[in-house]
Amino acid sequence: MRKPLIAGNWKMFKTTAEAKDFAAEFKKIYVSSDIQVAVCAPFTQLEALKEAFQDTDIQVGAQNLHFAEEGAFTGEISAAMLKEIGVDCCIIGHSERRQLFGETDEMVNKKLHQAFASGIRPILCVGESLEQRDGGQAFDLVRSQMKAGMQGLHADQAAALIVAYEPVWAIGTGRTAEPEQADEMCGFIRQVVEDLYGEEAADKVLILYGGSVKPSNASELLNMGDIDGALVGGASLVPEDFIQIVNF
């Protein structure tokens, strides 16, 4: 049985003081359950969140890492730096990184390998634009992102991977894929993993949906058969909203 995961992606929001306030409020209303919970925050907040959540099972994740172990990469963060402070997981290949900062499938692949090598569980983001969806290219695009991103991974790494399907047209727009649309693509992603790595890996890989997930639509989305959780943006910034999604 796959253990569902609700991961918050704070993007470029909150100061460290605000992150500490969030953690204090969220711990008051959070009860450990069969649902995994992670908060993926800006680099400056990660150590404070690890300390704040140390007496809970709440995971702390980064939003990016560099694929090199070290080097002359001004402004970048290595996997070793994240691992040193106990980071559990890391978002890799988010559409905003791809679109705004030029990340390619090749870079995403290198980052996945570096995360696994460092003991950090990667969350691989894939998803199509509205033009690609309307043009009938969504499935081909997502298959291509999956195959390129996972190139060279072992079957056990594929099984441990978290994949987040985020249709670009539903990120921060208020638009959400219909539950059937989201489940169809998540099922397709699982089939891609099976085609590449076999049924056992496909049965274990966690596939999340992301894209304007909020308390009002979380239950319908998260009760679909191939959706194992959610990557939550804006709603993860407010403890009362995030806990409603966690308790879907």
**Residues acting as catalytic residues:** 94, 166
User: Under the phi-then-psi rule, with left for phi > 0, alpha for psi from -120 to 50, and beta for the rest, what region is 77?
Assistant: beta
**Residue 225 annotated as lining a ligand binding site:** no
**Residue 11 annotated as lining a ligand binding site:** yes
**Residue 212 annotated as lining a ligand binding site:** yes
Q: DSSP strand E in the chain: where? A: 5-9, 36-40, 59-62, 89-92, 121-126, 162-165, 206-210, 229-232
CA atoms within 13 A on the CB side of 162: 30
Q: Which residues contact 201 (CB under 8 A, 6 or more apart)?
A: 155, 156, 158, 159, 193, 194
Structure tokens at 108: 């995403």
* 3-class state of residue 62 by DSSP: strand
**Residue 169 annotated as lining a ligand binding site:** no
Distance CA 116, CA 76 (A): 18
Q: DSSP strand E in 41-180: where? A: 59-62, 89-92, 121-126, 162-165
**Residue 172 annotated as lining a ligand binding site:** yes
Q: Which residues contact 205 (CB under 8 A, 6 or more apart)?
A: 158, 159, 160, 161, 162, 163, 190, 193
**Residue 75 annotated as lining a ligand binding site:** no
Binding site as annotated, residues? 9-11, 172, 212, 233-234
Binding site as annotated, residues for substrate? 9-11, 172, 212, 233-234
